[in-house]
Structure 1
């Protein structure tokens, strides 16, 4: 591969995307996609917005993402050296690993007894969250855009007014009187 000048922010993003793709794999987004290994069909954690969720201040991880990426690359470089794997020039070490080796590094980092386990499990949980709940997105908008996780789980779209109703699974009658101060959207006053 041709040498390129490293870009710290891009390397961080690519490394975190490769981690997210290891947690919930997806298909490559374009030819030459280094971060997404392409071991699965359809969208995975990256396509579900894992990076956007990780960069959302509400996660509490945002300030440490540079450190996560740097540590992951240090672990990957040590793993590659131990297993005699060549490094790709100008590519972050974790990104340059084949998928099975990425998975081996993540299994080791999240294994019982690993001193950094809590950190890596928290990062993995947020990657899962991007896929299975789209916590960083408006649910109706995410469904309309074809969010891969919500779509794969069969989450139904809301009615035309933006509210979800489950007529087929209801008791068929009101369970309680609506409070007089309830707004038309169903929120308490």
Structure 2
């Protein structure tokens, strides 16, 4: 790659308090069951700044890769055909106003860029200066950096575990969307997993047992809604 080695992330990104990040991520996971059904407004992600958003998109794309959104896309590496975590709304979920993460995301992105910079320096990789360090890495190198984040004993491992859990939820469950609307609009993760559409009234019913037979008779005091006695 052309250009000098980038020795620091975007200077405008604030420092990071690891304990605050863990508290915020834990609170975000706890808030998921009550997450609103409205998508985050575009301004919520835009307010983070282009560098943090690009870094977080590249992180999400490394976990669940997809095709580039355009020929000038830098965050998405284009390592796999079809849509990935970015197209599935990973950044929309992370920046949702229903989750307490927005103030922490620039710091998380800065931490990832610092790790990418250290990785590049140790391997004499030249990084472009017009994009965040992690985005400046090729997909194979991004994968190596992310794999290192999850090694036992890594001081920030819990941060990346929780963040990757949220990225996975955006793709696998469209956690930031009303499920019926997400299915109707062809959410890429739900399409990929073959998630079934609801009945005409917007509710899901499963008259056929997944094992082909009932495994046990319902308790006689079970309510009509299926709740246990």
Q: TM-score, normalization: structure 1?
A: 0.84
Residues 106-145 of structure 1 deviation map (CA, whole Å, 9 limit, x = unaligned) = 1111111101100111111111110111111100111111
Q: Which residue does the alignment assign to 2:121?
A: 81
User: 2:104 is matched with which residue: 34, 47, 64?
Assistant: 64
Q: Structure 1 regions of 5+ residues with no counterpart?
A: none
Return the structure number with greater relative CO, CA threshold 8 A, min gap 6.
2
Q: TM-score, normalization: structure 2?
A: 0.70
Query: SS state of the match for residue 168, structure 1?
Result: coil
Q: Which residue does the alignment assign to 1:149?
A: 189
Structure 1 Cα separation of the partners of residues 158 and 202 of structure 2: 38
Q: Which residue does the alignment assign to 2:68?
A: 28
User: 1:42 is matched with which residue: 82, 87, 97?
Assistant: 82
Structure 2 Cα separation of the partners of residues 130 and 161 of structure 1: 25
Residues 137-188 of structure 1 deviation map (CA, whole Å, 9 limit, x = unaligned) = 10011111111111111111111211112233386xx9578969x8xxx9xx
Q: Which residue does the alignment assign to 1:93?
A: 133
Q: Is residue 111 of structure 1 aligned with residue 151 of structure 2?
A: yes
Count residues with an aligned counterpart. Answer: 178
User: 1:18 is matched with which residue: 58, 77, 82?
Assistant: 58
Q: Structure 2 regions of 5+ residues with no counterpart?
A: 4-9, 13-47
User: 2:178 is matched with which residue: 105, 118, 138?
Assistant: 138
